[in-house]
């Protein structure tokens, strides 16, 4: 039996990070978490590109454009969508996720979901630098693992 499983070695990977500027106090922490994970696992700064976009809805098109260049092994998508008083939360959360999935499947470049969707800013803080860890860090680990796994599938 052949078992395929990616590891967390990122020495030779080229990674792009697409990060939303909206809710910057949260997304900055997600970005720092992602950069820490990449560095800890062997990815050098010159192998990383960071693209800042206005909000979460702009993440999928930017991720797809970067993936289409074939210059990156994986794309990390980072953002924070916090529920407000209108239906806008559901639209942003659902369409961002759907767009990322579509972009990933169309380009065959792994894209990890570090876009947190929460009810309150306190929950966002907890998931970006609090007791729930850092979802940016986790997204980076997921990207590294997926690149290594997909390389085994070739």
Pair 35, 93: CB distance under 8 Å: no
Could you confirm whether 88 is annotated as catalytic? yes
* Residue ranges in the chain assigned as alpha helix (H): 24-40, 59-68, 88-107, 121-129, 135-152
Torsion angles phi and psi, residue 63, rounded to 5: -60, -40
- Give the Cα separation of 144 and 136 in Å (integer): 13
Question: What order of strands is seen across the sheet that includes strand 15-20?
Answer: 48-53, 15-20, 74-82, 111-118
Task: Give CA separation, 6 vs 26, 42, 142, 150, in Å.
Answer: 29, 15, 9, 8
Q: Is 50 helix (H, G, I), strand (E, B) or coil?
A: strand
Kindly state the tokens that stand for 3: 């078992």
Catalytic residue of the set 8, 41, 52, 88: 88
Catalytic residue numbers, as ranges: 88
């Amino acid at each position: 039996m052949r078992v395929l499983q990616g590891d967390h070695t990122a020495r030779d990977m080229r990674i792009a990070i697409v990060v939303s500027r909206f809710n910057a106090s949260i997304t900055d922490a997600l970005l720092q978490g992602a950069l820490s994970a990449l560095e800890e696992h062997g990815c050098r700064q010159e192998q990383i590109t960071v693209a800042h976009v206005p909000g979460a809805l702009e993440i999928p098109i930017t991720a797809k454009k970067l993936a289409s260049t074939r210059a990156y092994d994986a794309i990390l998508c980072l953002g924070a969508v916090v529920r407000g008083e209108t239906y806008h939360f559901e639209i942003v959360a659902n369409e961002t996720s759907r767009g990322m999935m579509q972009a990933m499947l169309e380009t065959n470049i792994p894209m990890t979901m570090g876009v947190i969707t929460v009810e309150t800013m306190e929950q966002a803080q907890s998931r970006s630098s609090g007791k729930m860890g850092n979802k940016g860090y986790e997204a980076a680990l997921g990207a590294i693992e997926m690149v290594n796994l997909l390389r085994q599938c070739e």
